[in-house]
Amino acid sequence: MQLARFPRFRLAHLPTPLEEMSRLTSLLGGPRLLVKRDDCTGLALGGSKARALEFLLGAALEEGADCVVTLGPMQSNHTRMTAAAARKAGLECVLVVQGESPRSPQGNVLLDLLMGARLLFFEEASLADLDDLMLGVVEDLRREGHRPYVIPGGGYSPIGGLGYVDAVVELLGQLNARGWKADALVVASGSGCAQSGLLVGTLGMRSGMEVIGITINRERETLQHRILREARLLSDLMGIQLELSEEKIQVYDEYLGPGYATPTTEGVEAMRLAAAAEGLVLDPTYTGKAMAGLISLVRSGRLGVGQTAVFLHTGGLPGLFASPEWFAAELAAQWAAAAK
């Protein structure tokens, strides 16, 4: 994979560790389970998005931008990490945020403030409105003489996708070095940026490893469509030919529950199992639901004995500290039931 020709601004601690989850593996009795610790990328409490941001900030600096503009919901890992990335690159950061300015900021939005990002809160806006609102903000910045670099929500862009192609190269190197081969890579999928990059990486490297996305906000078909579109643009950008089709894009939407950022019983159970078996911390919005998906795929036999599955821990941990009240009550109830 030819990534060296793309401008890149180093932000992440790489390679992230690849660890065995041997206790969870024997508990579930299915495939060997590994975890790729992208929660340990180091940038402002970590997460996979540091990978995308290395290429996005590389492009911003090459264009001579003086500020970075992006958008997201209140507890966006993407806005938090973009703010940190911009600071490290010496740029200002403007964030278009859905919701009311919080009286007592917690989790990601607290870190946005810590970074000194300029937060523009849009109380009445839906997430879908934010794109248009951001365009207005960008126009204003240009009129004021700024040179903004615009990053779509979630980093969803071919340039962002390069970071996840690199993640596959890194992971395959680690697997090879230990004489291992993985059959599946399981990831929480939101905007689809990560999954499209992982898909292009695994197909481009002919790794034989399938990428399984667990959607955390969109319905399956919508997300498949987004991933296909982005994977095509990304492979064009890289100048590689791939046979891509919607059927090749594995997305499960059974673990989403009532919707984005609403914790589920299964997600809390998965967080509890990961914590109890591995001391591994997951978050309720992304990685907890993705782990619920992985566990269910193991229990149903979709991933079985003799196989190896890698769970990509994409981070998202600050969001844990902005959990709704329901979360702690559910956690306590589940532990109480387990103790009986």
Binding site for ligand PLP (CB under 6 A): 47, 49, 77-78, 154, 188-195, 286-287, 314-316
Shortest distance in whole angstroms from residue 338 CB to ligand PLP:
26
Closest residue to ligand PLP, based on beta-carbon distance: 316
Q: Which is nearer to ligand PLP, 32 or 289 (CB)?
A: 289
Question: Could you tell me whether strands 308-313 and 32-37 are parallel, antiparallel, or unpaired per DSSP bridges?
Answer: parallel
Token pair recorded at residue 110: 């607290």
Q: Which is nearer to ligand PLP, 141 or 204 (CB)?
A: 204
Shortest distance in whole angstroms from residue 304 CB to ligand PLP:
25
Would the CA dihedral through 130, 131, 134, 139 be positive or negative? Answer: negative
> Residue 26: enclosing H or E segment and its boundaries?
helix 22-28
> Residue 226: enclosing H or E segment and its boundaries?
helix 220-238
Shortest distance in whole angstroms from residue 218 CB to ligand PLP:
9
Q: How far is CA 229 from CA 88, 175, 248, 253, in A?
A: 31, 29, 13, 19
For residue 93, the one-letter residue type is C
Q: Which is nearer to ligand PLP, 189 or 202 (CB)?
A: 189
- Give, as one character, the DSSP assignment of residue 97: E
Give the number of C-alpha atoms closer than 13 A to the C-alpha of residue 191, restricted to the C-beta side: 24
Nearest to 43 by CA among 32, 31, 52, 33: 52
Shortest distance in whole angstroms from residue 291 CB to ligand PLP:
11
Q: Which is nearer to ligand PLP, 25 or 77 (CB)?
A: 77
Q: Are 123 and 102 in contact (CB under 8 A)?
A: no
Annotate 245-286 with DSSP letters as a single string. Answer: -GGG-EEE-TT-TTSTT---HHHHHHHHHHHHHH-----TTT
Q: Which is nearer to ligand PLP, 204 or 318 (CB)?
A: 318
Catalytic residue, candidates 22, 26, 48, 76:
76
Shortest distance in whole angstroms from residue 189 CB to ligand PLP:
5
Question: Is 296 noted as a catalytic residue in this protein?
Answer: no
Active site residues: 76
